[in-house]
């Protein structure tokens, strides 16, 4: 690959760049600084034969800062180009996005094989001009560049919340700025059908509305009471967006969800379900049992829908969803069961596979290919399907090993609906924790693949689900700056070891976003806090990736100012209080205010052991999390809670000496949609030797349910050194619930003792 011989040159040029650092994102494969400077002229003279559309885009992007003039004549020309059409074959495919920029004291010259390569070069040039326009001169240099991955995508869910054509175009502009080339448009889901289909007008007349929407945290089960919609794109609007994207060399991949996530479609055409209905577009988030029934009528409907979709979208791939399809209705549907028998399918997973294969055959017959979420692997992959690996990386690995293409979009790195900073100082989000450095650390090729298999990894994508994203300002907030990290990961020049260098470039790009009035997240400035055991109690460590001398904090609940205490070393937490902290630079507040409340009890900071460890994704600070003085917040799953799948919590606390107490408290969560169930029982024991334990209290399922998981137990007065608490997992999830027959999750936060 071209990349390898670039590496040495990149290292050399990095040395030279120490003085003259280019703030480019994604960073190019190869940068060589040369002697001399190109002086930015009053009037930028462009050669007359530059590709028109791309050059007009370039002029528009920086036109307010530069004057341009085309010339056909000889004489001084500042921007020229040459496009050498590629030889055909696989080489041509690889060279499509290649470009070379030579900046000499005399002029800027771009070489590429395609207009797309020229367009990518212009994106680089725009960033260079942004950086040097105040100095009015650009160092001479040579940049040779091309992406590592062919699929560099961003997804947008317009079903949970709708975004206008203008907003979608802005979104596409952001992709273009950072050299992403694929826009995955999630157009249908349970909560709304958003694309006009002429043959089935009820899809948008009925399916583009819902009665109301869920608000706040899922567990609160609260609704806004306001009708939502009708919101959808007409076919004319879709054509307009596709053309707009095409002008920016971005492929739009439409997603039509099947067989699950189909409630909005079923609300319009209930005859396509297994049961009678009526159905309504969903008002809450999650996964719903009513899905498309695989009958001939349904396939005819979907084929007709796809015919119109394929006319509107020229993309090679059509996304057919395929994720999160409960088999509840299929299990009880006579037609579905008959179909399983007739086709010798193993079970309902086989039926899912039958469904997808039948759709694939149709789409292939029209000269297109399907891509679907990794559940399309269930029951056997369709012969030519590509897999979008979201539940983790295993779907991508399995696909690549079977010589199917895969796009990597694992939730832990690529879900931009997750929090990007401490949830305490962030707007409400879906959950999870995916800060900028986490995205930047992602490597799309799984280590499990050999070189040949790795070729099936088409690329990488981030997804923006919009359950908790109510407007476009919040879209901007959630994608920036994480989109920049994705961009460099997809380009193939990211290096987690150089995160700090990347972060500096990100901060320089904030100026560009400021000018565009983009509401980006400033979470990278935020203070991170970490509780540590200290002197038989706890202390709180504050840190920032910026200058540590900029941290100020208070302990009295007031908002920190530049005059508050300067953070030096960890802050001791002797009693219940709230630490508020913030980051200041040049006397100005740069971060959000971080706020951490501590509830100190007799167990806080004491030695604690767990007989079984929490699951890896929810192990946060290990057993210590249960005595760190932080009561779990439902917004902070994975940060302040420990999660145990199918396991009980058996914790022993050592007070260090015989201690009086008469109260114990802890919380367990319930979020059945995420397979999280309340504990079944809890038992409390005491001991003085850590061997013989005496039971002093037991509560059952009903007590826990009545307390809604917030357990507070009054005890007879105790005096003991060791306290053991056993919290019983709900076990196997009963039928009728999401995740039925799987192991339930038990979430526990803090064990307090008074």
Which partner in ligand ACM, Zn ion, none is near 158 (CB below 5 to 8 A by kind)? none
Quote the CA–CA distance of 607 and 276 in Å, as a whole number: 58
Instruction: Say if CB 701 and CB 731 are below 8 A apart.
Output: no
162-174 core/surface letters (b: 16 or more CB in 10 A; e: else): bbeeebbebbbbb
Closest to 420 (Cα-Cα) out of 379, 375, 476: 476
Residue 237 CB, shortest distance to ligand ACM, in Å, is 25
Has 324 been annotated as catalytic?
Answer: yes
Judged by CB under 6 A, the residue of 27, 44, 119, 373 near ligand ACM is 373
* Residue 293, contacted partner among Zn ion, ligand ACM, none, CB below 5-8 A by kind: Zn ion
Q: Single out the catalytic residue among 323, 324, 541, 654.
A: 324
> Which partner, ligand ACM, Zn ion, none, binds residue 486 by CB below 5 to 8 Å per kind?
none
Closest CA to 521 of 477, 490, 551, 559: 477
Residue-level length of the chain = 754
Q: Which does 333 bind (CB under 5 to 8 A by kind): Zn ion, ligand ACM, none?
A: Zn ion
Among 173, 240, 303, 323, binds ligand ACM (CB under 6 A): 323
Nearer to Zn ion, 117 or 259 (CB): 259
User: What is the rounded CA–CA span in Å between residue 562 and residue 584?
Assistant: 7
Closest approach of Cβ 296 to ligand ACM, in Å?
Answer: 28
What is the rounded CA–CA span in Å between residue 425 and residue 590? Answer: 13
Distance CA 98, CA 120 (A): 8
Is the bond into 430 cis (omega within 30 degrees of 0)?
A: no
Query: Which residue among 31, 175, 214, 336 contacts Zn ion (CB under 5 A)?
Result: 336
Q: Which is nearer to Zn ion, 293 or 571 (CB)?
A: 293
CA 189 vs. chain centroid, Å, equals: 18
> Pick from Zn ion, ligand ACM, none: which does 274 bind, CB < 5 to 8 A by kind?
Zn ion
509 tagged catalytic: no
Q: Based on CB atoms, which residue is closest to ligand ACM, 254 or 629?
A: 254
Distance, CA of 539 to CA of 687 (rounded, Å): 28
User: Considering CB distances under 5 to 8 angstroms, the limit depending on partner class, which of ligand ACM, Zn ion, none binds residue 324?
Assistant: ligand ACM
CB 486 within 8 A of CB 154: yes
One residue of 176, 293, 377, 483 binding Zn ion per CB under 5 A: 293
Cα–Cα distances in Å, from 339 out to 87, 259, 303, 351, 375? 49, 15, 19, 8, 20
Site map 296..335 versus Zn ion, x via CB under 5 A: -------------------------------------x-x
Closest CA to 437 of 513, 396, 392, 488: 488
| Rounded distance between C-alpha atoms, residue 645 and residue 634, angstroms | 18
**3-class secondary structure for 39-108?**
ECCCEEEEECCCCHHHHHHHHHHHCCCCEEEEECCCCCCCEEEEECCCCCCHHHHHHCCCEEEEECCCCE
- Verify binding: residue 185, ligand ACM, rule CB under 6 A: no
Identify the active-site residue in 54, 144, 189, 374: 189
One symbol per residue from 589 to 618: x for binding Zn ion (CB under 5 A), - otherwise; what is it? ------------------------------
**Which residue number, 373 or 433, has a Cβ lying nearer to ligand ACM?**
373
Q: Which does 44 bind (CB under 5 to 8 A by kind): ligand ACM, Zn ion, none?
A: none
Produce one character per residue of 249-273: b if its CB has 16 or more CB atoms within 10 Å, e if not: bbbbbbbbbbbbbbbbbbbbbeebb
DSSP 454-509: HTTEEEEEEB---TT--SHHHHHHHHTTHHHHHHHHHHT---GGGHHHHHHHHHHH
When binding is defined by CB under 6 A, the residue of 183, 390, 655, 661 that contacts ligand ACM is: 390
Q: How far is the CB of 203 from Zn ion (least distance, A)?
A: 20
Q: How many helices (H) and strands (E) does the chain have?
A: 20, 37
- Whichever of 121 and 274 has its CB closer to Zn ion, that residue is 274
C-beta of 373 vs 584, nearer to ligand ACM = 373
- Closest separation in Å from C-beta 440 to Zn ion: 45
* Least distance CB 324 / ligand ACM (angstroms): 5
| String marking each residue 247-286 x if it binds Zn ion according to CB under 5 A | ---------------------------x------------
Kindly identify the residues of this chain, within the stretch 443-482, that bind ligand ACM according to CB under 6 A: none
| Residue 373 touches which member of Zn ion, ligand ACM, none, C-beta under 5-8 Å by kind | ligand ACM
Tell the smallest beta-carbon distance from residue 341 to Zn ion (Å): 13
Which of 454, 150, 474, 439 is closest to 316 using CA atoms? Answer: 150
Residue closer to ligand ACM (CB basis): 111 or 418: 418
Q: Which of ligand ACM, Zn ion, none interacts with 336 (beta carbon under 5 to 8 A by kind)?
A: Zn ion
The answer to whether the CB of 44 falls within 8 A of the CB of 21 is no
For residue 255, the surrounding DSSP H or E stretch is strand 251-258
Q: Which of 78, 261, 404, 418 is catalytic?
A: 261
Residue 339 or 637: the one with the smaller Cβ distance to ligand ACM is 637
Q: Report how many residues bind ligand ACM under the rule CB under 6 A.
A: 4
Please give the residue ranges that form the binding site for ligand ACM (CB under 6 A).
323-324, 373, 390
Return residues touching Zn ion (CB under 5 A): 274, 293, 333, 335-336
Residues marked as catalytic: 189, 261, 324
């Amino acid at each position: 690959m071209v990349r390898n011989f670039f590496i040495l040159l990149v290292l050399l040029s990095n040395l030279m760049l120490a003085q003259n650092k280019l703030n480019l994102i994604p960073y190019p494969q190869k940068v060589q600084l040369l002697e001399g400077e190109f002086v930015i002229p009053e009037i930028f003279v462009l050669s007359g034969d530059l590709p028109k559309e791309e050059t007009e885009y370039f002029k528009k992007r920086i036109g307010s800062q530069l004057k341009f003039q085309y010339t056909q004549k000889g004489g001084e020309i500042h921007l020229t180009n040459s496009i050498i059409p590629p030889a055909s074959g696989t080489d041509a495919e690889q060279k499509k996005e290649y470009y070379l920029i030579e900046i000499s004291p005399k002029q800027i010259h771009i070489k590429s094989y395609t207009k797309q390569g020229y367009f990518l070069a212009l994106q680089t040039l725009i960033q260079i001009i942004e950086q040097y326009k105040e100095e009015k001169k650009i160092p001479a240099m040579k940049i040779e560049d091309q992406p590592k991955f062919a699929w560099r995508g961003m997804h947008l869910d317009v079903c949970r919340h709708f975004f206008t054509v203008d907003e979608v175009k802005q979104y596409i502009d952001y992709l273009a700025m950072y050299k992403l080339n694929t826009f995955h448009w999630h157009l249908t889901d349970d909560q709304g059908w958003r694309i006009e289909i002429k043959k089935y007008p009820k899809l948008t007349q009925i399916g583009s509305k819902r009665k109301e929407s869920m608000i706040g945290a899922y567990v609160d089960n609260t609704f806004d009471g306001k009708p939502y919609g009708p919101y959808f794109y007409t076919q004319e609007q879709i054509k307009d967006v596709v053309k707009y994207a095409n002008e920016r060399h971005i492929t739009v991949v439409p997603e039509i969800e099947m067989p699950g996530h189909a409630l909005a479609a079923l609300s319009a055409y209930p005859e396509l379900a297994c049961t009678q209905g009526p159905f309504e577009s969903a008002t809450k988030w999650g996964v719903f049992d009513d899905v498309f029934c695989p009958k001939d009528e349904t396939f005819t409907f979907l084929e007709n829908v796809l015919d119109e979709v394929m006319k509107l979208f020229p993309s090679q791939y059509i996304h057919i969803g395929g994720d999160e399809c409960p088999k509840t209705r299929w299990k009880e549907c006579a037609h579905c069961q008959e179909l399983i028998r007739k086709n010798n399918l193993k079970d309902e997973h086989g039926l899912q596979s039958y469904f997808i294969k039948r759709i694939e055959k149709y789409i292939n017959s029209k000269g297109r290919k399907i891509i679907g979420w990794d559940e399309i692997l269930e029951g056997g992959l369709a012969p030519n399907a590509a897999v979008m690996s979201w539940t983790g990386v295993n779907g991508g690995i399995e696909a690549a090993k079977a010589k199917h293409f895969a796009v990597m979009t694992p939730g832990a790195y690529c879900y931009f609906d997750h929090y990007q900073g401490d949830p305490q100082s962030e707007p409400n989000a879906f959950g999870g924790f995916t800060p900028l450095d986490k995205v930047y650390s992602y490597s799309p090729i799984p280590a499990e693949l050999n070189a040949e298999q790795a070729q099936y990894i088409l690329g990488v994508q981030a997804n923006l689900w919009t359950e908790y994203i109510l407007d476009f300002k919040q879209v901007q907030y959630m994608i920036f700056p994480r989109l920049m990290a994705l961009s460099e990961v997809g380009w193939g020049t990211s290096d987690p070891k150089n995160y700090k260098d990347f972060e500096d470039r990100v901060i320089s790009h904030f100026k560009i976003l400021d000018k565009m009035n983009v509401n980006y997240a400033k979470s990278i400035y935020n203070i991170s806090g970490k509780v540590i055991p200290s002197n038989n109690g706890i202390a709180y460590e504050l840190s920032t990736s910026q200058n540590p001398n900029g941290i100020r904090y208070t302990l009295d609940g007031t908002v920190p100012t530049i005059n508050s205490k300067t953070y030096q070393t960890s802050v001791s937490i002797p009693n219940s209080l709230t630490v508020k902290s913030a980051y200041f630079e040049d006397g100005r507040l740069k971060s959000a205010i971080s706020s951490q409340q501590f509830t100190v009890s007799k167990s806080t900071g004491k030695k604690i052991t767990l007989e079984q460890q929490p699951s890896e994704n929810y192990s946060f600070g290990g057993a210590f999390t249960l005595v760190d003085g932080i009561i779990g917040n439902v917004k902070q799953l994975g940060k302040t809670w420990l999660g145990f799948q199918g396991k009980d919590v058996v914790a022993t606390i050592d007070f260090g000496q015989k201690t009086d107490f008469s109260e114990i408290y802890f919380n367990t969560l319930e979020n059945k949609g995420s397979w999280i169930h309340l504990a079944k029982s809890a038992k409390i024991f005491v001991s003085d030797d850590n061997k013989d334990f005496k039971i002093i209290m037991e509560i059952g399922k009903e007590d826990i349910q009545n307390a809604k998981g917030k357990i507070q137990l009054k005890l007879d007065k105790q005096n003991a050194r060791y306290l053991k608490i056993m919290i019983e997992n709900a076990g196997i999830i009963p039928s009728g619930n999401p995740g039925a027959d799987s192991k339930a999750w038990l979430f526990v936060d803090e064990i307090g003792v008074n």
